[in-house]
Structure 1
């Protein structure tokens, strides 16, 4: 399975979870139903800070193309956090999960495959929030951040140098990480008396 095959498999296997992570309840879960500009920016900054921290730590532990991929992705997350111009709160469940991942294939799966897929869905609702607020500048920034956060180029770079047998572990760990993000989302909504499943 090549790099794009790994990514496609993860996306397909977690299609339901990713779809719900991008639902109109995403920001309710992320902000504790505080749907205000500062709270939305802080939720986004919190995610980016946690991702940048994990990736930066990993880049210090490995050389070569994979270390470079971690470093580039860390720089990207840090820059997005800077552009949000908001304080960072305590890491959410996904951020905490990243801090506990060990092993190079596992870190590629969680930090370079799962994180962009999860952030793509999160920023979809950040864009919608600013559009609904008639904040054109905020919406434009959110669109730019979504494009950058969902970029899987570093995942492809890292997967390209991993052994074939390691790519299966990348897939497994990416699926697991998305599951952590979804469980946290579902639990947050359930605690508020909301159904995380879409109403058909």
Structure 2
């Protein structure tokens, strides 16, 4: 397998989950149904803060030089994202509780698994950034909408970084399989949490046709 094939496989095998994570219900789930700008920004701040701490901890415990640099760069980007969201929100202390996806990522120990998990997180998070942008467009707040467009743009760099790292650390089929399981697990954790959040509020997580 090569990085392009890996990316296609992860997208194809998680098509339904990624599609639903990109639906308008994703923000409703993340905010507990509180669809106002403050609650949306708080949910975004919590997500960025948790991601930064995850990648920071990876970098601190990583022996592979290229991987450590990739995780450090990503942690710095997520810290910048958190500060950018905080500038829109004002004073706020993140809750510090990792999402299901971040909990999954923090349980990954090997470099190969972390590289796969990074890619899975990028794909899942890209969907939420689309919804954040759309929300603030609907709120007639072009400045904040543009902020989330820019944050989504950084995810493109993270995706390429993850693919380059996968190419560097995956030596055989077993490595690619381990990375794939980690990527799938990250997306599935995000999706399962989305389903649980909606069902707890009495909302059907499946689209109505």
Asked if these proteins are the same fold (TM beyond 0.5), I'd say: yes
Counterpart residue number, 2:184: 175
> Are the counterparts in 1 of residues 55 and 75 from structure 2 also a CA contact under 8 Å?
yes
Deviations, residues 123-178 of structure 1 (Å, cap 9, x unaligned): 11101110110001011111111121343021022112111331221111100111
Q: In 2 relative to 1, CA 42–149 (structure 1 residues): closer, same or farther, beyond 3 Å?
A: farther
1:58, 1:70 within 8 Å by CA — same for their partners in 2?
Answer: yes
SS for the counterpart of 1:76 is helix
* 8 Å contact kept, 1:28–1:35: yes
| SS of aligned partner of 1:138 | helix
Give the unaligned 5+ runs of structure 2: none
- Can you give the 5+ residue segments of structure 1 that lack an aligned partner in the other structure? none
The 8 Å contact of residues 116 and 166 in structure 2, kept in 1 or not, is answered as no
Q: How far off is 1:5 after superposition?
A: 1.4
**What is aligned with 2:131?**
125
1:94 aligned to which of 101, 109, 120: 101
State the TM-score, normalizing by the size of structure 2: 0.91
How far did residue 74 of structure 1 move?
1.1
Say which is worse superposed, 17-26 or 64-73, in terms of deviation.
64-73
CA RMSD of aligned residues (A): 1.3
Partner residue, 2:113: 106
How far apart are 1:41 and its partner, in Å?
Answer: 1.1
TM-score using structure 1 length: 0.95
Q: Could you tell me which of 181, 191, 201 is aligned with 1:192?
A: 201
Residue 78 of structure 2 corresponds to residue 77 of structure 1: yes
Instruction: Name 2:8's counterpart in structure 1.
Output: 8
Once the two structures are superposed, the pairs formed by residues 12-51 of structure 1 within 5 Å of their partners are: 12-51=12-51
| Alignment coverage as a number of residue pairs | 199
Q: State how far apart, in whole Å, the 2-side matches of 1:155 and 1:42 are.
A: 27
